[in-house]
Homo-oligomer: A and B are copies of this chain.
Amino acid sequence: MSSTGDRPALRVTISDVAAAAGVSRATATRALKGEGRFAPETQERIVAAAERLGYVRNTMAAELAAGRTGTVGLMLRDASNPAYGLLFSRLQDEAHRRGLDLVTVTIGADVQGAEQVNALHRLLGMRVAGLIVATGGITAAQLEPFADQVPIVRAGRVETAERIHTAHYDDPEHGRLLASHVLSLGHRRVVVLSGAEDVSFAEHLRASAMSATLVDGGASVTLVSAGAAPTDGVDEALDAVRDGATAVMCASDYRQLAVMRALRAAGLSVPGDVSVTGCDGILPGADLLGLTTLRIPVEAVAAAAVETMQLLLSSDADSTPTVRQPFVGTLVPGSTAAPV
């Protein structure tokens, strides 16, 4: 970028406005913010001048001088996943409703590593007033050092670290609900298809709970722990089906779709030959496909996360005990799972 010298038009400062209105900078500040004391007609003049000049307050300078920040930072995971996109949207709505300004940075493809820390630093560097973390990619260890500088709320994923608050999906319960449903349909030989623990912690939690519940219910379980791609592990799942399994429980709707594609390609019918379930319930059109799934409580999590943040910002954060709120979604029985 070029050095000093040229004159970007955006350099309308409050001094310009003050000069144009014939007052001091301090007065201009007050009038523009509508705080403190000033004559109404002075304000009019100042506001008019500001508008005429196209003045936009320099937030950096303002917050630097004021020593505080009005915005909350949001760390988001890749929004190409509709579940995250929706969470993003709802967080934003809720923040807006509560008068909080959100600024977002997202994490690139590399699940962990420098990228994450970089994004975190970008936000912290802005001296955000609080941090909402909606990505599993960043670890508690990376977050914790900053927990006493700024309130941190994790949204979506559970968190065990002290001082980091959460509003999260009750993934184990989701797994249980789905498994109970499958059991109630009479299935006793079930494949559980999930991302590995380090690939998707949420899927891991769901799958573990599914397996446990199924086993408790007297079913035999084939656990397929796969990679991040939805198609990973699908072949193994199909093998198990050919081997006699009557149901495939997927830890996410993405995997469920992949399984259904594969089954279709293999000439197997759903739910005739095999029942299939997923989890998330966010996909538009899931109803038309008849997906058996569990709708995760995105709205509740978003609302709770923002509410908690607001609480932390207004109260003496240090004295607030760590907030941990799990939310349970609702089972969506579809036509992809039927009695055995």
Q: Per-residue CB proximity of A89-122 to B under 8 Å, as 1/0?
A: 1101100100001111110110000010000011
Q: What residue in chain B is nearest A260 (Cβ atoms)?
A: B288
Which residues of the other chain, B, contact A96 by a CB distance below 8 angstroms? 108, 115
Choose the segment among A17-25, A63-71, A178-186, A207-215 that binds chain B (4+ C-beta atoms closer than 8 Å). A63-71
Q: Which of B4, B58, B89, B284 sits near A127, CB closer than 8 Å?
A: B58
Report A157 CB to chain B, min CB distance, Å.
Answer: 19
Q: What residue in chain B is nearest A261 (Cβ atoms)?
A: B288
Is A145 touching B60 in the complex (CB atoms < 8 A)? no
A86 CB within 8 Å of chain B: yes
Which residues of the other chain, B, contact A286 by a CB distance below 8 angstroms? 285
Q: Which of B59, B63, B80 sits near A90, CB closer than 8 Å?
A: B80
Q: Which A residues from 271 to 292 make CB contacts under 8 A with B?
A: 283-289
Determine the distance from Cα of A208 to Cα of B59 in the docked complex, in whole angstroms. 43
Given contacts A60-B126, A64-B61, A285-B289, contact A148 B89 (CB under 8 A): no
Which residues of the other chain, B, contact A105 by a CB distance below 8 angstroms? 101-104
Is B68 touching A92 in the complex (CB atoms < 8 A)? no
Q: Per-residue CB proximity of A175-213 to B under 8 Å, as 1/0?
A: 000000000000000000000000000000000000000
Determine the distance from Cα of A8 to Cα of B147 in the docked complex, in whole angstroms. 11
Is B90 touching A86 in the complex (CB atoms < 8 A)? no
Instruction: Give the contact-size bracket for chain A.
Output: 35 or more
Q: What residue in chain B is nearest A63 (Cβ atoms)?
A: B60
User: Hey, which bits of chain A sit against chain B, CB under 8 A?
Assistant: 1, 4, 7-11, 54, 56-64, 67-68, 71, 78-82, 84-86, 88-90, 92-93, 96, 101-106, 108-109, 115, 121-122, 124-127, 129, 141, 144-146, 148-150, 253-254, 257, 260-261, 264, 283-289, 313
25 A-B pairs within 8 Å (CB atoms) are namely A1-B68, A1-B141, A8-B150, A10-B149, A10-B150, A56-B121, A58-B127, A59-B60, A59-B126, A60-B60, A61-B64, A79-B86, A79-B89, A80-B82, A80-B88, A84-B85, A85-B85, A85-B88, A89-B106, A92-B108, A101-B105, A101-B122, A104-B104, A283-B284, A288-B289
| Sample of 14 more A-B contacts, CB < 8 Å, known A57-B125, A60-B64 | A1-B145, A57-B121, A60-B61, A79-B88, A79-B89, A82-B82, A85-B85, A92-B108, A104-B104, A104-B106, A253-B284, A254-B284, A283-B283, A288-B289
Closest 8 CB pairs of A and B: A85-B85, A59-B125, A80-B89, A60-B60, A10-B149, A104-B104, A79-B85, A9-B148
